[in-house]
Amino acid sequence: MTAGHVVVGVDGSIVSMRALDEAAVEAGRRGAGLEIVYAVPGFDEAGPVLASAVTRARHRYPALAVSTAAVVGDAAEAIVSRGRNAALTVVGTRDLPGFAGRLFGSVSLRVAARTQSPLLVVRGDHAAWHDSSGPGGDVLLGLENDTDTDTAGYAFAEAARREAPLRVLHAWTYRHLPPVGYAPVPTSHLQEDITRRARTEEAVPDYVVAPLRETYPQVPVQTRTVRSGATHALLEATCGAAVIVVTAHRRPGLLGPQLGPVATALLHYSHCPVLLVPETPQNSLPGSPRD
């Protein structure tokens, strides 16, 4: 497959079939080919799973160009490698319970921490918003700060592809105070500082969105800034959304790069699929707060 295609990882499970369905829809939206990847201990078992996946994709989209790849080895590494030049990589996820899930993570988390292409993560319990009659739900953009310009551009393009409105949410906290409702009455000096910070944060969405409104005049846009923890605000906002788009901020870990806590929480608990856009080097600011 050439660059611009959609890659999806399958393993024969119900969750991966949901991911396959979403990937076929995304390939159709883009007029792109679909590559189905299956990582296996040996090639013998790949044939039936891949053949079934191809049949499922072509049943709904007969004109879709579909290819397959059976890769011996680790599933996360295989998906990251095959999706290196893809327009989009799609994976399904199912949570491991309790401590095991936190310790070992999942294929989706390991792909999210390493992929170089945008990644759509779909849980088995996510409702299928799309159907043959048209789009449903809006696109939600979780904006951390004014460096998330690539992610904002991707969210606008996604809204245009879906013919859907775009909802932009920027959450921020004042580090010297707990969230609203839990803090004592601040001093006048502190209140002035909070007010100045609030004005700055209120301007972030409009600053990022303004040039993109001109590029995508057909996309209706609503922006909102809230003083709240990002995890809580974004999870609540995913109710009713077709997809949430956020930057995949990463940090070093003992076992390799790790997602920040906000993106990780979204992968576990979001009410809609999560589309992670890799952070570009120029937008990664050493020492700046992330997630």
Q: What is the pTM of this model?
A: 0.85
3-state secondary structure of 4: coil
DSSP string over 33-67: -EEEEEEESSGGGHHHHHHHHHHHHHHH-TT--EE
Q: Where are the domains of the chain?
A: 6-123, 138-242+256-283
Task: Decide if 262 contacts 231 (C-beta within 8 A).
Answer: yes
Q: CA-CA distance, 222 to 117, in Å (whole number)?
A: 27
Does CATH number 3.40.50.720 belong to domain 138-242+256-283? no
CA proximity to 232, closest of 271, 274, 262, 275: 262
Matching fold, domains 6-123 and 138-242+256-283? yes
| CATH, domain 6-123, list 3.40.718.10, 3.40.50.620, 3.40.50.300, 1.10.3720.10 | 3.40.50.620
Task: Decide if 119 contacts 273 (C-beta within 8 A).
Answer: no
Task: Decide if 83 contacts 118 (C-beta within 8 A).
Answer: no
Q: How far apart are the first and last CA of the chain?
A: 34
Task: Decide if 49 contacts 11 (C-beta within 8 A).
Answer: yes
Q: What is the pLDDT along the chain (291 residues), one digit of tens a residue?
A: 555 899 999 988 889 999 999 999 999 999 999 999 998 766 667 888 899 999 999 998 899 999 999 998 889 999 999 999 999 999 998 754 444 344 334 888 999 999 999 999 998 766 554 443 344 689 999 999 999 999 999 999 999 999 999 999 999 987 655 555 555 555 677 778 788 888 889 999 999 999 999 999 999 999 999 999 999 999 999 998 999 999 998 877 777 778 889 999 999 999 999 999 998 754 444 433 344
**Residue 56 neighbours by CB under 8 Å, 6+ apart:** 17, 20, 21
